[in-house]
Amino acid sequence: MALFALAVASFGIGTTEFVIMGLLPDIAADLGVTIPAAGLLITGYALGVVVGGPIIAIATAKLPRKTTLIGLAVLFVIGNLLCAIAPDYGLLMAARVVTAFGHGAFFGIGAIVAASLVPHNQRARAMAMLFAGLTLANILGVPAGTALGHAFGWRSTFYVVAAIGLVSVAAISIWVPRTDGLRAPVSLISEFRVFRNGQVWLAMAISVGASASMFSVFTYIAPILQQVTGLTPQTTTWVLLLFGFGITIGNLIGGRLADWKLMATVIGALVLLTAVLAQFTFSSHSPLGASITVFVWGIVLFTLVPPLQMRVIECAGEAPNLASTLNQGAFNLGNAAGAWIGGAALTLGIGYDHLPLVGAALAIGALGIAIASRNMARRETAIACPAE
């Protein structure tokens, strides 16, 4: 039930992060701004995750982790309520940034708590339960929130998401235990000292590369499916739903495989990710081929999430709070970088059908870092950051 409580909060966070994409025209019309200007609300949120996560992790380093999680869930409720009542664009942007401040810290600290609730050989699976809320948000929360916003106004969506946040506050308060094992380290010096370990940086670099490989293509998935594959906007929605199912399945698979062999899972998934993206150049010309590829892509991609988060925590040793939170920022940094790289490739004249090759190249880069990390671990004598 403690893992379920964390997943409820994860579901709400995932919904509020992504649902705004489907509501941009409504928000732009209501607040009197252009759609590109409204799109900056997504950028502002991502930057809030990158900047706010470490600040929150440092500020709460001496607090029990359960207390921190409850506080972050309350911040999430406040942020979404501010989004719902924001009278103008500037205040809505500020509310989005406030909401995002708790995002990275919640997933970073929540992953540590989830891992502490189960036996050592089930830690990655416990993290997968946390991230399951995020993946289910793409299947249930985002479509439902978008439909609600279209029917009753975009502000209604944020009111409902805030209500989900209240449920998560209650669930965490009731079910997440308050034990010494859930207390954060009291020394900030120990938190910063982990960054002397090159393996921590390598693990976060893999997260950046894997995320960039996704968003270099996924940012432009709608024009790929419509202009290359020839799907209608309605059919595109169903294919994206397949992607949502894929990432949900991949998240659970990744948790189980990572508990078996962590680095082998990371390297194997990156090899498959490269292959899937490379062949998408060809399968994107077929409706059936594109649909199957998008589904498999989702599975392979999110197979990486639990092991990458687990890798950072393992390498951070006894002071994982800041490193685990920064890894969430690494994912978001990869999101922004990937979207920019994909856009730059299109500007240079690369066609939509060849854009997956850009994603494959970025996956190869992440694969090279993962292999280097494993080989370095094999040469080291420390038991932390094992090679497998």
DSSP letter assigned to residue 227: I
And the tokens for 238? 């169903």
Q: Is 354 left (phi over 0), alpha (psi -120 to 50) or beta?
A: alpha
Give pTM, 2 decimals: 0.80
Condensed to tens digits (0 to 9), the pLDDT of residues 124-150 reads: 888 888 888 888 888 888 888 888 988
What is the structure's pLDDT at 299?
95
Give the angle 189-258-305 at the CA atoms, nearest 5°: 70
Instruction: List the chain domain ranges.
Output: 2-184, 192-379
Arch. (CATH architecture) of 192-379: Up-down Bundle (1.20)
**pLDDT tier, 187 (very low <50, low <70, confident <90, very high otherwise):** low
Tell me, yes or no, if the two domains 2-184 and 192-379 fold the same way. Answer: yes
**pLDDT tier, 275 (very low <50, low <70, confident <90, very high otherwise):** very high
Q: Which CATH superfamily, name and number, covers 2-184?
A: MFS general substrate transporter like domains (1.20.1250.20)
DSSP letter assigned to residue 139: I
In the chain the first and final C-alpha atoms are separated, in Å, by: 30
Neighbours of 238 (CB within 10 A): 11
